[in-house]
Amino acid sequence: MCRVRRGRCSKGAVAVSLCLATGVAQAQSSVSLYGLADAFAGVVRTPGAQGNAWEVGSGGLSTSYWGISGAEDLGSGVKAIFTLESFYRINSGQSGAFNGQSFFGRRAFVGLSGQFGQLTLGRTDSLLFVSTLLFNPFGNSFVFSPMVVHTFLPSAMGAASVQSDTAIDDSIVYQTPEFGGLTGSLQYSNAGIAGHAGQANYSANLLYFAGTFSATAAVQSLHTASLFLNGPTQQTAWLVGAAYRLEAVKLFFQYERVTDNNELADDTVQAGTSAQVGTGSVLLSWAGTLRRPAQGPDLRWSTVALGYDYPLSKRTEVYAVWRYDTMTSVSSGNSLGVGIRTRF
């Protein structure tokens, strides 16, 4: 802040103008540092695993991350915005949610926002992932959310249903303004490989929040060859979800269908609830996936998770979650974790 004092800014009109201009510039822009730390102790045994392994793990309910974001007022209701966010593993101090992930692997973009909506360029959230995490009781947990685990993680059945990450590189996203609780987003990304213009990815979603009812629909079409781990050259996924609040209870539902052009199809259903019990919340979710491969019999995977999340303050909470998995032709999985999550 610049103050007008004798011998400093008060020496002349020009100096006063510079001081005032500096104050205005500072008032019109902002930069924030923030993040989340989440660790748990317990055992995670996925279907088909051999034996139990006790561990201190990172990201039981949310993947730990830190970020920097900012906005500058450009006038006429338009702002320049940016976000840089990085995952980390709090149990080992390593950067990234997994080995080899880019440093700003969570999100990294710059853009403009205003009455027209928002336009961003960079590594931006997968719109399908956004619709997935908002409509299940365990949110974006890659350890205990049945819907997230079934959709984005490989298993004894093979590669993950959806081959994209939670954010998409080299992408452009446009988000509409809100109209009566409804917003829509469009996403385009390209592999950036000369001579392979067809290796592009497209995505869109709708989000509706009004009173006790909310809903979503999302579609994603992948064509970038480097994403695929199970043989296809393109993949289409679509998802619908809804939630309804009944006083202290909230009900969730999702249905997702993923088809690859190698004749593999996955159908996943999720149903769950969160209920306030005392100060905390009981979380319950079930997801089931039916995989129809091009050859061989159908495969089935069922996961149920039950947890309790108790806030110690507005920023910090403790939780306990049990997860149980069954899958065709392999041993069942039994996982349990007790952890703490805090935001800064």
Question: Does residue 211 carry a pLDDT above 90?
Answer: yes
67 vs 26 pLDDT, higher one = 67
Contacts (Cβ under 8 Å, ≥6 apart) of 230: 158, 159, 163, 260, 262, 264
Predicted pLDDT of residue 10: 42
Question: Does residue 319 carry a pLDDT above 80?
Answer: yes
119-158: pLDDT as tens digits? 999 999 999 999 999 999 999 999 999 999 999 999 999 9
Could you give the CA distance from residue 149 to residue 342 in angstroms, rounded to a whole number? 22
Q: Strand 182-190 to strand 167-175: parallel, antiparallel, or no bridges (unpaired)?
A: antiparallel
CATH class of 36-343: mainly beta
Which of helix, strand or coil describes residue 306? strand
**DSSP code string of 260-295:** ETTS-EEEEEEEEEEEEETTEEEEEEEEEEEEE-SS
Residues of the chain with pLDDT > 90, as a percent, come to 83
Predicted pLDDT of residue 195: 58
Could you give the CA distance from residue 237 to residue 28 in angstroms, rounded to a whole number? 41
Question: Does residue 289 carry a pLDDT above 50?
Answer: yes
Which of helix, strand or coil describes residue 64? coil
Contact 129, 207 (CB under 8 A): no
Give me the mean pLDDT over the 103-125 stretch. 97
Give me the mean pLDDT over the 286-310 stretch. 96
6-21: pLDDT as tens digits? 343 444 444 434 333 4
Could you give the CA distance from residue 35 to residue 43 in angstroms, rounded to a whole number? 26
Encoding tokens for residue 266? 């996955």
Predicted pLDDT of residue 196: 59
Predicted pLDDT of residue 47: 95
Could you give the CA distance from residue 162 to residue 257 in angstroms, rounded to a whole number? 10
Spell out the domain ranges in the chain: 36-343
Give me the mean pLDDT over the 185-190 stretch. 95
Predicted pLDDT of residue 48: 93
Contacts (Cβ under 8 Å, ≥6 apart) of 88: 58, 64, 65, 66, 94, 95, 96
263 vs 340 pLDDT, higher one = 340
Could you give the CA distance from residue 284 to residue 305 in angstroms, rounded to a whole number? 6
Average model confidence (pLDDT) across the chain = 91
Residues 309, 94, 129: CA angle, nearest 5 degrees: 55
Give me the mean pLDDT over the 325-333 stretch. 96
Could you give the CA distance from residue 234 to residue 65 in angstroms, rounded to a whole number? 31
Could you give the CA distance from residue 100 to residue 90 in angstroms, rounded to a whole number? 16
Could you give the CA distance from residue 128 to residue 109 in angstroms, rounded to a whole number? 18
240-252: pLDDT as tens digits? 999 999 999 999 9
Give me the mean pLDDT over the 146-173 stretch. 96
17-59: pLDDT as tens digits? 433 344 444 447 899 999 999 999 999 999 999 878 889 999 9
